[in-house]
Structure 1
């Protein structure tokens, strides 16, 4: 495991090849994904019936599948061809899936063409975060929403140690795999500053706890994750007026 001082990932910062396959397997059943982050993101998204939703960094399609089941029309984008193959298997032809480097503008989407967007555990993998947030806001209709989740800054601090304000790239091994995911440590101050600088307003911020169902699978893990923060999840709004 690498901590502070790790270098940024390769082009696109996506989970390519074997890493993409390993992450697709891991994210399907990991308690952190299945019992904390996905439920929190979907709860903040709320009623998506009839909404056109952009899934930014859609990965293996787990969020897209849930959004589709709730009545949304979904466009998913990711920089990993490996993950998009898994997403295509999961959603079939029910969603539009695009291979797209999130470090570049969302040139495929017109202004105000989406009602909402989700960006789950993707933000810290992107270097051009200010441009990505600006692009998401551009493609959202006035009054549209963005639900974004990120690793909790204090969880990273507890795990990697050092200074809380360390903004280095770090590696987090995937359990049961030789692969590791790489992302940048971000403080709460950094996250809030970036969201507000992009012109969004904050409607709600949560520090999600695991679903009670996890207790039936692993009571000790459920108790620990109820006491230690893992993620932040926020619902942002694209103001209806000029910003």
Structure 2
């Protein structure tokens, strides 16, 4: 997976800047859930090219970003500058931070690369201060299931299952593997790791999305569609 993202890093960073799902949906939704972050120490776990890190840093947060792809971190440095606190780290491994380091951890579209969430969630809880928040954005399990069925697939909603996609970006190709899971498997993993759910959000796109992508809203009077599911989780660590 790391090599795959290294190969498409430039193209993926460019896509993030313009796409409905990233620029006008996921990114503003996470920033809104994070709220006032001034003075907070925040880890962006799986920061990619750094758009969310950039937004939260602009809000006054003290930001650290990690990603398994050195290529993606190169794109992040182009955005954030050489002084940005960025490092290569794999979410499947022990995180290179002391206990109780961060007020918040952001995991945006990162956990779905892992078959087993348990060890990574335990690491997030370890590096969070008591009462710290974990803000997670993942593909909506109903959306992935319905998407598979509409495309002729036969997967069941229940259980953890692998999904493979071929991406072509910036003249480069990559084969990516995602691990889909039902809602109850997500919430069970959060509880087992010592997190309490404070918020579950099925966000609407930003107001600017209608102007940028009017064709996507012709048959959506609510202005909403199934894409991502977001959580604000509180550590129960005393």
Give the TM-score normalised by structure 2: 0.89
Q: Which protein is richer in strand relative to its size?
A: 2
* Distance change in 2, residues 1:15/1:65 (3 Å): farther
Equivalent runs, 1:66-145 vs 2, <5 Å: 66-106=55-95, 108-145=96-133
- What residue is the counterpart of 1:216 in the other structure? 211
CA contact (8 A) 2:29 2:203 kept: yes
State the superposition RMSD in angstroms. Answer: 1.9
1:158 aligns with 2:158: no
SS in 1 for 2:122: helix
* Distance change in 2, residues 1:14/1:230 (3 Å): farther
2:83 & 2:191 partners in 1: Cα distance?
34
- What residue is the counterpart of 1:183 in the other structure? 178
Structure 1 residues without counterparts, runs of 5 or longer: 1-9
Quote how far apart the aligned CAs of 1:95 are: 2.6
CA contact (8 A) 1:145 1:235 kept: yes
1:44 aligns with one of 33, 39, 49? 33
CA contact (8 A) 1:152 1:229 kept: yes
* Distance change in 2, residues 1:173/1:39 (3 Å): farther
Give the TM-score normalised by structure 1: 0.88
Number of matched pairs: 229
Structure 2 residues without counterparts, runs of 5 or longer: none
